[in-house]
């Protein structure tokens, strides 16, 4: 492919009362350009990923990137959105722009500020990423949607509460070493497995530790064509990408199979000319632990109904056959909707260049897989990355 990542920036994720959507955008835009060693005036296009859906009163945000530097004035700037996969939608749009020859340097920013929104309203906002005629009144908001998925999975394949708790515990353990993570605490299996005052059931069989966090944060990438990347201090190349959009109503799909996830993984691996076993690690979309479990099966790590094997036998741990979410994933790192997909690409680029934070860096990773999902396996994106040199 023709696109490469040559610089990045990432705020910590969490509750950031002193920040605004604008300040977060400006912060990562400035830092990413400095990291890449590219002057703002050399940017050809700007792509902003921002879900919003009621989280921010300011709902026309693409031009806020220009606040980072006057030299960005009059650059083309566009906001893209595809639910929880908004960040990857922005990244993939930048690739298309570069491949078309319409831009040499693209600044990609993902942002969300969710914590200023009252809890019940957060649930209603997120529920807009489901099919409201069917799920608009579901108890528990968007967690209720995945609670329903978990119930159906349990009915088909048996109680998977142990596996879900192990996934949560793994990701929280990994998040301890990630300075950008919202929750840097090793909660352990027993805490994640046990219902209690601090870990109540939220929806169906899902407890609080099965659900990603309400987060603020931003991340940014500087992307260039391959020729320009050869002149940069560092570069990570896109070996392949894939995007598949599925039906929005869950009633039109076999929801426990995540078919769109299977399709994009198959397309991306084929395009890259590699197998799943060739990947050094994967950053996957664990908005809920049941999602990560089903994604093991959809990516081809295990047969259907056997995803629990991957976590119970240690395959997805750091040091296992395919580490999943060494960053801590959405579960520990946080999930500011519009920033998540960009963050996954930043975390993967750090790993592949040996620049991940101490304790989080894997040993000599050569190939990264990213799966970012919008809605309940509706918007499905995969990127496969490798060091450019």
Q: What is the pLDDT of residues 277-317, one digit of tens each?
A: 999 999 999 999 999 999 999 999 999 999 999 999 999 99
Do 82 and 224 fall within a single domain? yes
**Residue 96 CB burial class (10 angstroms; 0-12, 13-18, ≥19):** middle
Q: What is the CATH number of the domain that holds 314?
A: 3.40.47.10
Do 223 and 336 fall within a single domain? no
d(C-alpha 113, C-alpha 150), whole Å? 28
pLDDT (0 to 100) of residue 186: 98
Does residue 373 fall inside a structural domain?
yes
Do 218 and 270 fall within a single domain? no
Strand 281-283 vs strand 45-49: parallel, antiparallel, or unpaired? unpaired
DSSP helix/strand/coil, 307: helix
DSSP 8-class letter at 309: H
pLDDT (0 to 100) of residue 369: 98
Does residue 131 fall inside a structural domain?
no
Do 225 and 263 fall within a single domain? no
pLDDT (0 to 100) of residue 68: 98
Does residue 101 fall inside a structural domain?
yes
Do 242 and 380 fall within a single domain? yes
For the chain, what is the domain count?
Answer: 2
- How is residue 381 written in tokens? 């994106």
Rg (CA), the chain: 19
Do 225 and 298 fall within a single domain? no
Domain carrying residue 21: 3-117+214-229
Do 221 and 365 fall within a single domain? no
pLDDT (0 to 100) of residue 140: 87
Do 303 and 218 fall within a single domain? no
Q: What are phi and psi of 69, to 5 degrees?
A: -165, 135
How does pLDDT run across 34-65, given as a tens digit for each residue?
999 999 999 999 999 999 999 999 999 999 99
d(C-alpha 95, C-alpha 72), whole Å? 20
Do 274 and 330 fall within a single domain? yes
382 pLDDT higher than 80:
yes
389 pLDDT higher than 80:
no
Does residue 36 fall inside a structural domain?
yes
How does pLDDT run across 221-264, given as a tens digit for each residue?
999 999 999 999 999 999 999 999 999 999 999 999 999 999 99
Does residue 185 fall inside a structural domain?
no
- How is residue 22 written in tokens? 């604008």
Question: Tokens 């906001």 appear where?
Answer: 79
């Amino acid at each position: 492919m023709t696109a490469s990542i040559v610089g990045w920036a990432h705020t910590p994720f969490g509750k950031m009362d002193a920040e605004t959507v604008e300040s977060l955008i400006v912060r990562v835009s400035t830092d990413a350009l400095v990291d890449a060693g590219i002057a703002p005036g050399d940017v050809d296009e700007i792509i902003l990923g921002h879900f919003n859906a009621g989280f921010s009163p300011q709902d026309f945000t693409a031009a806020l990137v220009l606040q980072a530097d006057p030299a960005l004035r009059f650059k083309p700037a566009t906001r893209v959105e595809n639910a929880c996969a908004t960040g990857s939608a922005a990244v993939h749009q930048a690739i298309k722009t570069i491949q078309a020859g319409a831009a040499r340097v693209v600044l990609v920013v993902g942002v969300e500020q969710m914590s200023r929104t009252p809890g019940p309203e957060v649930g209603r906002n997120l529920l807009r990423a489901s099919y409201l005629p069917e799920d608009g009144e579901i108890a528990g908001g968007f967690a209720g949607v995945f609670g329903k998925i978990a119930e159906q999975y349990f009915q088909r394949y048996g109680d998977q509460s142990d596996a879900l708790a192990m996934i949560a515990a793994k990701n929280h353990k990994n998040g301890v070493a990630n300075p950008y993570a919202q929750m840097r605490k090793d909660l352990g299996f027993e805490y994640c497995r046990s219902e209690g005052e601090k870990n109540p059931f939220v929806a169906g069989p899902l407890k609080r530790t099965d659900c990603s966090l309400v987060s603020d944060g931003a991340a940014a990438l500087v992307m260039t064509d391959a020729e320009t990347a050869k002149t940069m201090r560092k570069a990570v190349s896109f070996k392949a990408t894939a995007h598949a959009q599925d039906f929005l109503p869950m009633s039109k799909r076999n929801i426990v199979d995540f078919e769109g996830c299977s399709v994009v993984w198959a397309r991306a691996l084929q395009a890259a000319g590699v197998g799943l076993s060739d990947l050094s690690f994967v950053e996957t979309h664990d908005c809920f632990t049941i999602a990560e479990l089903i994604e093991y099966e959809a990516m081809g790590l295990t047969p259907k109904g056997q995803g629990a094997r991957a976590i119970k036998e240690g395959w997805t741990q750091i040091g296992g056959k395919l580490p999943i979410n060494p960053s801590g994933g959405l579960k520990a790192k946080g999930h500011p909707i519009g920033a998540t997909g960009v963050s996954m690409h930043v975390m993967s680029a750090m790993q592949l260049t040996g620049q991940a934070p101490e304790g989080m860096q894997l040993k000599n990773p050569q190939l990264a897989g990213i799966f970012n999902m919008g809605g309940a396996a509706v918007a499905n994106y995969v990127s496969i990355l490798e060091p450019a040199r």
